[in-house]
């Protein structure tokens, strides 16, 4: 089936703040940019950047200060002034690492070695989640919807209480998940009767429509079906959404990706990969039956795979992808008109294709300079000469681990090795300084240090070790490389 433009429903940009939280000045610019690019809502996942209070104050980030209450109100004011609806996303079952990592709450884990999954059997756990939701919704009085996460609930059923519960007739992992979610959403409905509740769908996928229908979940939640693959199975996705419709869940969402779903450590976003993902979702939307009331799409932009993983692509490197994906949704494909709109709005060409963004005109997007220098740095770090320096003829032939251990070296070749390694290290360090300078304008210092430690230091270490070893061996031989 041919894709058609997504003419109705929300187009939410997912703002994942559990890594690289933007400075407020940059965040304000991003909100305006989302509106300029064609979004009409933001799905905000604060995690530890929310200013939790009271017993929950321990959840606040220690790496950098969380946003203040005033700043969160300011975020909403700016968004609403540009016609963007804010929908908070608060994890309530799985992916609670930022909560359950703390000793205060470790007894609420389903199993001790899984920091992400809440024990579904304790009243204290539900009370904790409800207090988190209350504090978030108190600061979002205009929000008409709340996303409760509930994806990837790892190790569910492995805890002692769960195993006892599962021994009862008619009980299984599916009904265990549904009983917790039903209990939670009923409490949310009692407290916020006009609030729509959204949840990720992956834990529902293996269930039959009858199993879902037999619970009281119908009418309480709206599933958000997510798939970030550029080759997602259109027919199976339609069948999955039809299954949810038959279960009584007619109001549904879909979730694509504009960044953060390629690999856990990707630095530079591939626009084409994400545009292809959106083209597939448009085919799905075009093939849905009239009984499915599609509420909209969330364009996810994960900053980490979970609370404890490394940083994915930073937002400045993904803006072109986001713009291209939003325009693809608007036009039904990435038409020349869509491409022109992207160029007109951003004043740039694709970071992933060129490594140089500027077109030389006055128009540019916030963070463009950072994107440019990161692309240049990554190209240097991934160059064959640097990556495989340890495998060069000189290093393998004259400065092998055996040579280093025995402290014997050909001084003439040691000089050549040192000269080349030093050239690479200095070139990288020069570019890193540019990255630091630009990144510090947009992100906290701790984010800058984390990004460099994760993406630069591991690549430079082998070269720096070689330089140190050359120096040590030459000294032990009573020589200096400079004397050669």
pLDDT, tens digit, 9 for 90 and up, residues 183-209: 999 999 999 999 999 999 999 999 999
Average pLDDT (20-30) is 97
Residue 325 domain flag: yes
Residue 275 domain flag: yes
**Residues 299, 413: one domain?**
no
Residue 245 domain flag: yes
Residue 367 domain flag: no
167: phi then psi, degrees, rounded to nearest 5: -75, -15
pLDDT exceeds 70 at position 354: no
Average pLDDT (304-332) is 96
Residue 152: active-site member: yes
Q: 38-42, 416-420, 423-427: which range is least confident on average?
A: 416-420
pLDDT exceeds 90 at position 385: no
pLDDT exceeds 50 at position 427: yes
pLDDT at position 355: 42
Residue 2 — very low, low, confident or very high, per pLDDT cuts 50/70/90? confident
Q: Which domain holds residue 162?
A: 10-332
What single DSSP character describes residue 358?
Answer: B
pLDDT at position 181: 98
Domain boundary at 292, 317, 332, which? Answer: 332
- Mean confidence (pLDDT) of the chain: 91
- Cα angle: 317, vertex 321, 322; to 5 degrees: 100
Report the domain count for the chain: 2
**Residues 391, 328: one domain?**
no
Start-to-end C-alpha separation, the chain = 71
Give 382's contacts (C-beta < 8 A, 6+ positions apart).
none
**Residues 328, 390: one domain?**
no
Active-site option among 152, 158, 390, 450: 152
Average pLDDT (37-57) is 97
Q: 3-12, 314-323, 394-403: which range is least confident on average?
A: 394-403
Residues 247 and 216 sit within 8 Å (Cβ to Cβ): no
**Residues 118, 213: one domain?**
yes
pLDDT at position 374: 96
Average pLDDT (272-300) is 97
Between the alpha carbon of residue 77 and those of residues 81, 86, 166, 359, the distances in Å are 6, 10, 47, 33
Residue 322 domain flag: yes
**Residues 398, 311: one domain?**
no
pLDDT exceeds 80 at position 137: yes
**Residues 118, 244: one domain?**
yes
Report d(CA 55, CA 132) in Å as an integer: 10
* Greater pLDDT, 460 or 280: 280
User: Tens digits of per-residue pLDDT, 212-262?
Assistant: 999 889 999 999 999 999 999 999 999 999 999 999 999 999 999 999 999
**Residues 401, 309: one domain?**
no
Residue 17 domain flag: yes
pLDDT at position 416: 79
For 25, the 3-state DSSP assignment is helix
**Residues 319, 432: one domain?**
no
Average pLDDT (294-309) is 97
Average pLDDT (383-393) is 75
Report d(CA 250, CA 219) in Å as an integer: 9
* Greater pLDDT, 155 or 358: 155
Q: 16-20, 72-76, 362-366: which range is least confident on average?
A: 362-366
Domain boundary at 270, 299, 332, which? Answer: 332
117: phi then psi, degrees, rounded to nearest 5: -105, 130
**Residues 224, 144: one domain?**
yes
Average pLDDT (346-352) is 65
Q: 73-87, 277-291, 350-364: which range is least confident on average?
A: 350-364
Residue 369 domain flag: no
Domain boundary at 332, 350, 373, which? Answer: 332
pLDDT at position 405: 74
pLDDT at position 384: 80
Residue 390 — very low, low, confident or very high, per pLDDT cuts 50/70/90? confident
**Residues 27, 88: one domain?**
yes
**Residues 144, 16: one domain?**
yes
For 186, the 3-state DSSP assignment is helix
Q: Tell me if the pTM is above 0.75.
A: yes
**Residues 197, 283: one domain?**
yes
Residue 374 domain flag: no
Report d(CA 231, CA 447) in Å as an integer: 33
User: Tens digits of per-residue pLDDT, 154-174?
Assistant: 999 999 999 999 999 999 999
């Amino acid at each position: 089936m041919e894709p058609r433009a997504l003419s109705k429903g929300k187009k939410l940009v997912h703002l994942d703040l559990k890594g690289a939280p933007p400075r407020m000045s940059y965040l304000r610019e991003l909100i305006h940019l989302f509106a300029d690019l064609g979004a009409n809502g933001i799905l905000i996942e604060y995690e530890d950047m929310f200013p939790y209070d009271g017993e929950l104050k321990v959840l606040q980030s220690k790496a950098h200060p969380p946003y203040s209450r005033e700043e969160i109100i300011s975020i909403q004011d700016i968004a609403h002034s540009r016609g963007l609806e804010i929908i908070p996303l608060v994890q309530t079952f799985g992916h609670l690492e930022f909560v359950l990592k703390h000793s205060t709450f470790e007894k609420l884990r389903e199993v001790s070695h899984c920091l992400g999954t809440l024990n579904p059997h304790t009243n204290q756990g539900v009370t904790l989640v409800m207090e988190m939701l209350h504090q978030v919704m108190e600061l979002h009085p205009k929000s008409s919807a709340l996303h409760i996460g509930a994806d990837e609930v790892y190790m569910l059923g492995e805890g002692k209480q769960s195993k006892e519960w599962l021994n009862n007739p008619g009980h299984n992992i599916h009904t265990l998940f549904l009983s917790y979610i039903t209990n939670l959403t009923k409490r949310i409905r009692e407290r916020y009767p006009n609030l729509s509740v959204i949840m990720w769908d992956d834990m529902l996928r293996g269930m039959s429509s009858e199993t879902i229908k037999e619970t009281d979940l119908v009418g309480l939640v709206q599933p958000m079906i997510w798939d970030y693959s550029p080759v997602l199975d259109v027919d199976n996705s339609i069948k999955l959404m039809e299954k949810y419709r038959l279960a009584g869940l007619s109001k549904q969402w879909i979730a694509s990706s504009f960044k953060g779903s390629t690999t856990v450590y990707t630095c530079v976003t591939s626009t084409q990969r994400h545009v292809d993902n959106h083209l597939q979702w448009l085919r799905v939307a075009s093939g849905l039956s009239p009984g499915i009331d599609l509420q909209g799409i969330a364009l996810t932009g994960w900053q980490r795979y979970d609370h404890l993983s490394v940083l994915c692509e930073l937002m400045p490197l993904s803006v072109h992808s986001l713009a291209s994906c939003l325009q693809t949704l608007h036009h039904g494909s990435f038409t020349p008109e869509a491409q022109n709109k992207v160029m007109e709005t951003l004043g740039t060409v694709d970071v992933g294709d060129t490594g140089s963004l500027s077109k030389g005109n006055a128009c540019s997007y916030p963070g463009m300079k950072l994107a440019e220098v990161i692309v240049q740095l990554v190209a240097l770090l991934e160059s064959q000469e640097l990556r495989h320096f340890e495998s060069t003829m000189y290093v393998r032939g004259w400065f092998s681990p055996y040579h280093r251990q025995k402290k014997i070296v050909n001084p003439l070749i040691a000089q050549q090795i040192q000269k080349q390694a030093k050239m690479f290290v200095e070139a990288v360090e020069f570019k890193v300084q540019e990255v630091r300078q630009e990144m510090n304008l947009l992100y906290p210092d701790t984010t800058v240090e984390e990004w460099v430690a994760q993406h630069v230091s591991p690549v430079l270490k082998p070269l720096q070790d070689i330089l140190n070893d050359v120096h040590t061996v030459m000294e032990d031989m009573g020589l200096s490389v400079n004397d050669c």
